[in-house]
Amino acid sequence: TAAATRAAVVRASDDAALWFATQECARHCVSARLRTHFGNAAETLALLERCLRAAAKPPPSAPEIMTSSWHLVEFTHGLERALYNAYEGTATTPPPGKTAASFFRANQRTCEEWLTRAREATLAASTACGHRAAAARDAILRVNRCVASQRRRCDVAAKRKLEAAELLPRLKREFKAAKAALNDAHKQHGIASAKLERAVGNAKTERKGGGGVTAKQQKQIDLLKVKLEEAKDRVREAHAGQQSAHAAREAAEQRLVDDERIARTAAANTFRATRAAANLLVDVHEGDLLRGLADAVEPHLRPAGSDVWMPAPSPPSAAERDAEHAMRALALNENATTTTTAAAGG
């Protein structure tokens, strides 16, 4: 028993030393501005992301690979904390050098985008190597990101809906006015065309009668031709105005539909992320975190009609039933021993 206890202490010490080494390695990478033997900062982050994606699909029966994936996940989390300490600062961790701090403050947006992009790979790697606590953390952070995205999308959709309440009636009025202008232009064109045909017909009749076309008649014909061309121009302008009003109305309606679709997609992403995080929290028996997740996310999912997201309680497995029976038997034995001791003492 003593040897087993010493072995457990040694293993715990080794695990603590490895964890501390990964955190120091992450802090050293930040102090070096992510310049490693793999290349510059962009190349180092790209390699780390590829390693995380590879760790998400480990080969079967490879415990050493699972262990290295575990340390890779811990290194990624340590790197995230070190990056935050570089461009924001914390009260418990000493800041990096001024050069590194200035570098990461200037590239804070790039670092945050990479962390967001690598979150899925880190979550998959954590799940694959059995690091459930890290997987639960990444899942909760993903839920927070999805909730923030959903809030932005819903705000945009609500704002667009308010704007559409004023814009669409105005566009409808403009379309009706353009349609009326087109009808009036067609009417004026028809009148001008009829007058020109009548003037040309009168001129032909006089020419057949032996008389020629007078200068006054020719001037009238030329004037009617000019008016006919002007009427054609007004028809084209009115037609273009009608098409423009119709296109603006359709574009406004399409934007409204697109924003609502994007908001629904964001709500669906939040639902899926929350369901996955809830399942992970159930696996690690974190009831308090699960209740906190429900309180934080439910107000965002209920308006979207996705409030039924809590995982159904699964029946206990055979191992869990055996463990429960063993605990009950142990409790009975302890009670019996206590009763016997009390009787002997009496």
Pair 300, 150: CB distance under 8 Å: yes
Query: What residue ranges of the chain have pLDDT lower than 70?
Result: 1-13, 59-65, 206-217, 303-346
For residue 163, the number of C-alpha atoms closer than 13 Å in the C-beta half-sphere is 12
Q: Evaluate whether residue 95 is within a structural domain.
A: yes
Number of domains in the chain: 2
Amino acid at 346: G
Q: Evaluate whether residue 282 is within a structural domain.
A: no
Q: Evaluate whether residue 84 is within a structural domain.
A: yes
Q: Are residues 144 and 159 in the same domain?
A: no
d(C-alpha 221, C-alpha 203), whole Å: 9
What's the CA angle centered on 63, arms 61 and 67, to 5 degrees?
145
Q: Evaluate whether residue 235 is within a structural domain.
A: yes
Position 311 scores a pLDDT of 44
d(C-alpha 13, C-alpha 11), whole Å: 5
Last residue of a domain, one of 235, 265, 295: 265
Q: Are residues 79 and 170 in the same domain?
A: no
Q: Are residues 175 and 229 in the same domain?
A: yes
Measure Cα distances from 37 to 32, 69, 96 in Å.
11, 20, 20
What's the CA angle centered on 140, arms 21 and 31, to 5 degrees?
30
Q: Are residues 36 and 104 in the same domain?
A: yes
Position 303 scores a pLDDT of 67
Q: Are residues 118 and 240 in the same domain?
A: no
Q: Residue 324's domain spans which residues?
A: 2-148+309-337
d(C-alpha 148, C-alpha 150), whole Å: 5
pLDDT digits (tens, 9 = 90+) for 31-85: 999 998 889 999 999 999 999 998 888 766 566 667 888 889 999 999 999 999 9
Q: Evaluate whether residue 275 is within a structural domain.
A: no
Position 63 scores a pLDDT of 67
Q: Are residues 89 and 40 in the same domain?
A: yes
Last residue of a domain, one of 210, 242, 265: 265
Q: Are residues 261 and 333 in the same domain?
A: no
Position 9 scores a pLDDT of 46
Length of the chain equals 346
d(C-alpha 121, C-alpha 80), whole Å: 14
Q: Are residues 66 and 171 in the same domain?
A: no
DSSP 3-state assignment of 41? Answer: helix
Phi-psi region of 186 (alpha: psi -120 to 50; beta: other; left: phi over 0): alpha
Q: Which residue has the tokens 């802090």?
A: 27
Q: Are residues 165 and 144 in the same domain?
A: no
d(C-alpha 40, C-alpha 19), whole Å: 25
Q: Are residues 211 and 118 in the same domain?
A: no
Residue 286 is inside which H or E element, if any? none
d(C-alpha 134, C-alpha 273), whole Å: 15
Q: Evaluate whether residue 75 is within a structural domain.
A: yes
**Overall pTM surpassing 0.75 (yes/no):** no
DSSP E strands, the chain = none
Q: Are residues 119 and 17 in the same domain?
A: yes
Q: Are residues 15 and 107 in the same domain?
A: yes
The token pair that represents 296 in the structure block: 């934080």
The token pair that represents 331 in the structure block: 């409790």
Position 333 scores a pLDDT of 53
One-character DSSP codes across 59-76: PSS-HHHHHHHHHHHHHH
Position 26 scores a pLDDT of 92
